[in-house]
Amino acid sequence: MPLPPLPPLPPHSPRTAAEAAERAGIPLRDDRHAAVAATADHILTVVSRLRELDLADVPPAPVYRPDGR
């Protein structure tokens, strides 16, 4: 059974992207703030879709064997 959806996060603004980069210690030029905000929003959208997958019948990774045994 898939996990219930999380409430949507507010979109990142160039300012919030700059603040997050600063907190992480990542130097980020002013002209990159908008692109980083858009990329972060896209990543969060993709990850939220992954949460919708029903993986109940998928065994955990440690039991995977490439030889199929």
SS3 category, 69:
coil
Q: What tokens appear for 17 in the block? A: 């992207």
DSSP states of 9-29 as a string? PPPP-HHHHHHHHHHHT----
- CB within 8 Å of 11: residues ≥ 6 apart: 37, 41
| pTM of this prediction exceeds 0.85 | no
Residue 2 pLDDT > 80: no
pLDDT in tens, 5-19: 778 788 999 999 999
Write down the pLDDT at residue 56: 83
Q: Of 36 and 3, which is predicted with more confidence? A: 36
pLDDT in tens, 31-48: 999 999 999 999 988 888
